[in-house]
Structure 1
């Protein structure tokens, strides 16, 4: 019997890479390779070199695909596929009835693309069929049917017709199984809303983790909310998952769940364990120093962790390496603190570098953290908006400049001494 520790592997940051010295005007910083954006050509259905295209709007929902590809949403309604070789193509499917934007993607190992569309009334999850989004799973339940006491549709309900609470995240595991996080309250329920991790087996709903509250009319005390995020060998369906969560499929059928205060692993025997975060530490990530990425490490389960809830940066490799984002107080950082983390964009335009520079000193962005195979955690990045695994040993990371309304996506090589 495997334990939840089997999936720990290495938790890698969104843009884990060592600091290096560049001959460019940027000085010391992190060299990253431009993958897409900063060019002059518009997105199109025909593949084109990513460095030549212009990425209008914010890039969100970065998601790993098969064969080293990565998918994303640009501007809320355009799906973007980037091959391992850096070619980019776009699809602009008509949004489902009532939908205003595509908010999440999941791509199976066979290339099946699933999507969540904000405001859609026909289904909770859609599947990309050629250039259209077709209903795949569930029907949004009206708010008056939602209660934290019980899910609207219990286990065993046929998935296609199941009335569901808000689907706050989706993922596909290595076997192509669709995973989804369902909030039992309208609008995601906030930090005190209950969520459940569910999937579909033999056409019906099955719960993998989380449970309804016994008393949905009484919210827990604020200082008790984080405590529920630290099970140790508990049955996953007997723990409280409070607030919006993020999902990823781990190796060997395990499921990774990110709460607001921890990263959990759900083993195939149904038990839950903690991978990242501690409920007893006074210290909180990120650990940022003027020496740059990975300069200081601490035990991954000995330090406090606060997850970024939106975007839902959370990505896992077949070996169990996990990319995740973290919230931290960055307002006190000096220019010297920022300099070692700034991106030096190689093989890109001046505009691409300018987009990267626009976020270099942004104190409102989230940080990214990495846990090594030995269980040590360090800060890797303090600039990117979203990221996902991009082939073997690389991460694709996006950054958005609101003044130009453009984004770029870069690739970062992960050093061997960090990834193994």
Structure 2
């Protein structure tokens, strides 16, 4: 469990584990408002006792190691983050990220462009991560990073862009989810906070995106099975008022709309994902869906 910023300021640890019906501290001594440039604890430090800047997100990689997204610059609108990993021996190691050249902001347009769309093959250690919203673990120890304008993969110390960088919106055909795709690098991707990112073992990505205009709500409403009439009414109602989009990106780089209903989606296995949807008057449900069905 990762507490939010306000709670991180007050707690005795940054990351907690739920064991035997109790929350137990497992990683980090929080110093989220540290004014010095980090990392506050160097690689090789024991993660349990390490001083950590504000941690924005956590994930687990394919080897069951904890990943953390830690701020390494003093608080500011363009502060830099690092992706760090807790090894099986309990020590910290840096996976990607470096200091922001202007942590107080604002970034120049050119600098923001480089941060969102680094060239494929760039050294992960030189990546400026200043607007990250979520991280996720992928296959073969890869790490995926969602920024507000792109999704990046970090593989063997190098960066590869998965989604974003163009000027097209994903097609929203009348037939519903997964009907039509486009080159993921051509998508004008943008997401605000909170982010949402999930990767399965096949390298397929689910990520939240800001609204897609001119979509057909009826075509993209959930047709629920086994959920009962109330569940279907919640899905129908949320389809009419919610415009949060879930984008599916295949392993070969094709982006499609998976849902226009609900919030962030997460993989349960290689083909099934879960998504929460709600309506202010009706309540909330969790829907399970299979890709392409």
**Partner Cα distance (2:253, 2:16) in 1:** 37
How do residues 314-333 of structure 1 correspond to structure 2 at under 5 angstroms? 314-330=197-213, 332-333=214-215
**Partner Cα distance (1:356, 1:292) in 2:** 15
Equivalent residue for 1:150?
A: 38
Equivalent residue for 2:281?
A: 403
Pick from 18, 43, 53: which aligns with 1:128? Answer: 18
**Residue-by-residue CA offset, 1:121-152 (whole Å, 9 max, x unaligned):** 11110111111110010011052x244x4322
**Residue-by-residue CA offset, 1:91-123 (whole Å, 9 max, x unaligned):** xxxxxxxxxxxxxxxxxxxxxxxx112314111
Q: How many matched pairs?
A: 287
CA shift for structure 1 position 329: 4.5
Deviates more, 1:170-179 or 1:202-211: 202-211
- Contact 1:266–1:272, Cα closer than 8 Å, also in 2: yes
**Residue-by-residue CA offset, 1:350-375 (whole Å, 9 max, x unaligned):** 22112112211125x32112223442
Aligned CA-pair RMSD: 2.2
Equivalent residue for 1:359?
A: 238
The alignment partner of 1:301 has SS state of helix
How do residues 8-407 of structure 1 correspond to structure 2 at under 5 angstroms? 115-118=1-4, 119-120=7-8, 121-143=11-33, 145-147=34-36, 149-184=37-72, 189-190=76-77, 192-201=78-87, 202-222=89-109, 224-231=111-118, 232-268=120-156, 270-278=157-165, 281-283=166-168, 285-310=169-194, 312-330=195-213, 332-333=214-215, 337-363=216-242, 365-404=243-282, 406-407=283-284
- Contact 2:207–2:264, Cα closer than 8 Å, also in 1: no
Change (3 A) 1:308 1:176: same
- Contact 1:286–1:368, Cα closer than 8 Å, also in 2: no
**Partner Cα distance (1:193, 1:216) in 2:** 4
Change (3 A) 1:366 1:226: farther
**Residue-by-residue CA offset, 1:272-304 (whole Å, 9 max, x unaligned):** 1111111xx333x34323343234322111222
TM-score, with normalisation over the residues of structure 2? Answer: 0.89
- Contact 1:195–1:245, Cα closer than 8 Å, also in 2: no
**Partner Cα distance (1:235, 1:350) in 2:** 52
**Partner Cα distance (2:103, 2:132) in 1:** 16
- Structure 1 stretches lacking a partner, 5+ long: 1-114
CA shift for structure 1 position 346: 1.4
- Contact 2:246–2:265, Cα closer than 8 Å, also in 1: no
CA shift for structure 1 position 236: 0.4
- Contact 2:132–2:145, Cα closer than 8 Å, also in 1: no
- Structure 2 stretches lacking a partner, 5+ long: none
**Partner Cα distance (2:41, 2:48) in 1:** 11
- Contact 2:133–2:147, Cα closer than 8 Å, also in 1: yes
CA shift for structure 1 position 271: 0.8
CA shift for structure 1 position 153: 2.3
- Contact 1:246–1:259, Cα closer than 8 Å, also in 2: yes
Higher Cα radius of gyration: 1
**Partner Cα distance (1:376, 1:257) in 2:** 18
Structure number with greater CO (CA < 8 Å, separation at least 6) is: 1
**Partner Cα distance (2:202, 2:66) in 1:** 19
**Partner Cα distance (1:391, 1:371) in 2:** 15
- Contact 1:290–1:338, Cα closer than 8 Å, also in 2: no
**Partner Cα distance (1:356, 1:414) in 2:** 18
